[in-house]
């Protein structure tokens, strides 16, 4: 695995400028850690908004639920794509790399993922936020802004991600949404999504599990998928 990200000088310069504008201090670091650790103030709102729109009962319920299911498909495709390239493309978080540690207080040095590329939190919640564009554009724009302010920025601030991780997540989210839309406009797929909007007990149970994972950042689901990927690679060897 690379000791640092692609474009290391550029990432270092961007982080320097960020910390010049928002210098590290005890209070700022505590706030940033709070947003990265407490899902209730950052990621739970996306699950809550999703649930509210799923429960709306009017003449557009079927269409609305089909578009909401597309969001889950886009998230699944994006996460699977990252699992596919993570064994070959990735790098440790800046808090683990000596060249970047100088930018952070030493109490952040032991934290961070050994492979932080891309920013999965940015990827997942940006897909959800953009997915609400067909419903209410102002809400979608607000959720996108909150992704950057409450999810992406705090993780960069505490040394969990590089700027390039966030940019890659934004690009991957756009690709995942575009591919999903192309797939879901196919007649057979569209018909299947229509059937799944009925709200039967199986669909509702699945929705509950997905919303719980969405609220918690898909930590359990990502752990399971990562473990399966490792097991598959082990069996291949």
Alpha-carbon gap, residue 34 to 152, rounded angstroms: 13
Residue 207 pLDDT: 74
On whether residue 115 sits in a domain, the answer given is yes
On whether residue 3 sits in a domain, the answer given is no
CATH number where 134 lies: 1.20.144
Q: Taking the CB of residue 81, how many other CB atoms lie within 10 A of it?
A: 16
Instruction: Check the CA dihedral 62-65-67-70 and report its sign.
Output: negative
Alpha-carbon gap, residue 129 to 144, rounded angstroms: 5
Q: What angle do CA 183, 178, 40 make, to 5 degrees?
A: 105
Instruction: Write out the two tokens for 62.
Output: 């079927």
Alpha-carbon gap, residue 92 to 82, rounded angstroms: 15
Is 218 within 8 Å of 79 (Cβ atoms)? yes
Q: Is the peptide bond before 194 cis (omega within 30 degrees of 0)?
A: no
Alpha-carbon distances, residue 209 vs 88, 122, 205, 221 (angstroms): 31, 21, 6, 10
On whether residue 2 sits in a domain, the answer given is no
Number of domain units in the chain: 1
Q: What angle do CA 155, 85, 124 make, to 5 degrees?
A: 40
On whether residue 73 sits in a domain, the answer given is yes
Residue 117 pLDDT: 94
Which residue from 41, 35, 210 is spatially nearest to 128, judged by alpha carbons?
210
pLDDT tens figures, 8-28: 999 999 999 999 999 999 999
The confidence band for 81, taking pLDDT boundaries of 50, 70 and 90, is: very high
pLDDT tens figures, 160-212: 999 999 999 999 999 999 999 999 999 998 888 888 777 667 777 777 777 76
Task: Give residue 100's domain range.
Answer: 8-236
pLDDT tens figures, 138-147: 999 999 999 9
């Amino acid at each position: 695995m690379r000791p640092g990200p692609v474009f290391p000088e550029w990432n270092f310069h961007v982080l320097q400028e960020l910390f010049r504008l928002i210098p590290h201090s005890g209070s700022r670091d505590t706030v940033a850690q709070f947003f990265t650790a407490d899902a209730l103030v950052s990621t739970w709102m996306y699950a809550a908004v999703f649930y509210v729109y799923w429960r709306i009962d009017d003449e557009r319920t079927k269409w609305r639920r089909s578009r909401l299911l597309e969001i889950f498909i886009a998230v699944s495709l994006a996460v699977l794509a990252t699992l596919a390239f993570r064994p070959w493309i990735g790098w440790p978080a800046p808090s683990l790399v000596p060249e970047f540690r100088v930018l952070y207080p030493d109490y952040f040095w032991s934290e961070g993922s050994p492979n932080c590329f891309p920013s999965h939190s940015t990827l997942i919640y940006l897909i959800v936020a953009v997915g609400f564009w067909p419903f209410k554009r102002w809400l979608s724009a607000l959720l996108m802004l909150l992704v950057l302010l409450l999810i992406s920025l705090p993780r960069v601030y505490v040394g969990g991600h590089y700027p390039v991780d966030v940019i890659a997540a934004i690009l991957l989210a756009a690709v995942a949404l575009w591919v999903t839309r192309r797939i879901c406009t196919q007649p057979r797929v569209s018909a299947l999504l229509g059937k799944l909007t009925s709200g039967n007990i199986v669909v509702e149970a699945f929705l509950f599990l997905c919303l719980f994972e969405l609220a918690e950042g898909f930590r359990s689901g990502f752990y399971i998928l990562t473990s399966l990927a490792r097991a598959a690679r082990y069996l291949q060897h």
